Amino acid sequence: MIARSEAEDHLRVIRSLMEKATIYRALSAPAALVGGLLSIGASAFLMWHERQNGPNDITSNYFAAVWSVVFFLTAGISLALIRRDAQRRNEPFISIGFRSAMRATLPSMAFAGLYTLAAIARNSVHYAVPWWITFYGLALLAMGHFAPRSISILGWCFLVAGALSVGGMLDMFLGSRANFGTELPQFIDGPCLLMGFTFGLFHLVYAACTWSRRT
């Protein structure tokens, strides 16, 4: 009985390590590098575009479109990297552990998507950026049981940055409403800098710290 219990414990440990390795490769250093570079590039492009054409030229829908392109490009490249790695290892493209982790992130990502759709309807996607950061941090932390510690650390970095930026946005909003009684002017630099600092710089740092651990 004891031997069987020990064997079951060993199998659980092995399965956990295999699942964590799968998630680790899914959020690999190359994928983080691509996402970081695309985010910094998009932030720089939007700020350059604003200075060339004026702040009113960048609408809420345009802002959403640029970041949608970054999101889908990053997701597509990440999936391609996962598929190539799975083929190299003769493993399933989408493993049980990966599916479990994605289910864990679903609530946060679904709320982020719904919030974004509401922001698009209100022409206020710029103000959704702090919430994107916060929801992404929550999604990473939700994978804590399936992912290595480095991803949880990345999640905490996003969550703290999101909480601070949400607080700053609310202070600015309430202060402006109190002082002027009008809607806030459109702004680009703040959201772009936030996106570049978090989705850009955080992912680049993650890639640099985990690159040597690729298997």
What pLDDT does 24 receive? 52
DSSP string covering 96-111: HHHHHHHHHHHHHHHH
Average pLDDT in the 124-137 region?
Answer: 90
CA distance 172 to 49: 24
Place of tokens 């720089």: 44
Q: Work out the average pLDDT over 131-141.
A: 93
Looking at residue 27, its pLDDT comes to 53
Are residues 157 and 202 in contact, defined by beta-carbon separation less than 8 angstroms?
yes
The pLDDT of residue 184: 38
Residue 89 contacts residue 25 (beta carbons within 8 Å): no
Please tell me the pTM assigned to this model. 0.78
Per-domain residue ranges of the chain? 2-213
User: pLDDT tens digits, residue range 154-174?
Assistant: 999 999 999 888 876 655 544
Neighbour-count burial for 141-162, b at 16+ CB within 10 Å, e otherwise:
bbbeebbbeebbebbebbbebb
Q: CA-to-CA distance for 74 and 56, rounded, in angstroms?
A: 28
59: helix, strand or coil: coil
